[in-house]
Chains A and B, each alone.
Chain A
Amino acid sequence: EAGVAQSPRYKIIEKRQSVAFWCNPISGHATLYWYQQILGQGPKLLIQFQNNGVVDDSQLPKDRFSAERLKGVDSTLKIQPAKLEDSAVYLCASSLVGGQGEQYFGPGTRLTVT
């Protein structure tokens, strides 16, 4: 069974530029999560989708971050414009069922904002 796929793996941009990350969850997984992991910290949930609907985006900085999962499968997370403090690893995870289901994580995208 293929795992959670993410691309790109690494990205370096200048502040005020925009960037997009892509995630393809495990086939059949209805729930998809985006996390931000700053160096030395644990992952922080940014947004959770159940199929193509948003369950929780309370910690998503909506003035600059946006995410979509239009067909209930793959998802895109965008940052526009980027700030220095957005430098982090962005992790995508999926689970078969929402809430209590075990989450499976992708390899992450390491973003550096200069």
Chain B
Amino acid sequence: KQEVTQIPAALSVPEGENLVLNCSFTDSAIYNLQWFRQDPGKGLTSLLLIQSSQREQTSGRLNASLDKSSGRSTLYIAASQPGDSATYLCAVRTDYKLSFGAGTTVTVRA
């Protein structure tokens, strides 16, 4: 059974600082890994999807890396802004199932 862990559970940083969010998974036989953002009371918004054959994916200030062999992914958010405050979840796909971590709740202080 795939287990996905996200550390830390919560993070508070001043505006402008770079954010580093970690995700680890136990079964390296994955199809892809996806990072989501969840705002309070809302659904999930997909940020980045990395296929198993890729090492990283970038979108604007966001960069996600994937090391499948060690079961790790890292989401980097450059020059954080108060609008980046949210919960960030990673999810890995094995077979047809998506397994989620519990998320990292980020607060960016103005």
Contact = CB atoms under 8 A, between A and B. Distances in A.
Given A42-B91, A99-B95, A105 B100 contact: no
A9 B32 CA distance: 30
A41 B102 contact: yes
A51 interface: no
Tell which of B34, B96, B102 has the most Cβ of chain A within 10 Å: B96
Interface size bucket, B side?
20 to 34
The DSSP consensus for interface residues of chain B is: strand
Interface stretch (B11-19, B38-46, B66-74, B76-84): B38-46
B108 interface: no
Contacts, number: 51
Nearest to B49: A102
A108 B43 contact: yes
Given A55-B96, A100-B93, A42 B43 contact: no
B43 to A, nearest CB: 4
A102 B96 contact: no
B83 to A, nearest CB: 19
A43 B102 contact: no
Contacts of A105: 36, 43-45
Contacts of B89: 42-43
Interface residues on A, range: 20 to 34
A43 B100 contact: yes
Contact of B97 (A45, A91, A106): A45
A41 B100 CA distance: 9
Nearest to A31: B96
A107 to B, nearest CB: 5
Interface of A: 4, 33, 40-45, 48, 55-56, 91, 93, 98-100, 102-108, 110
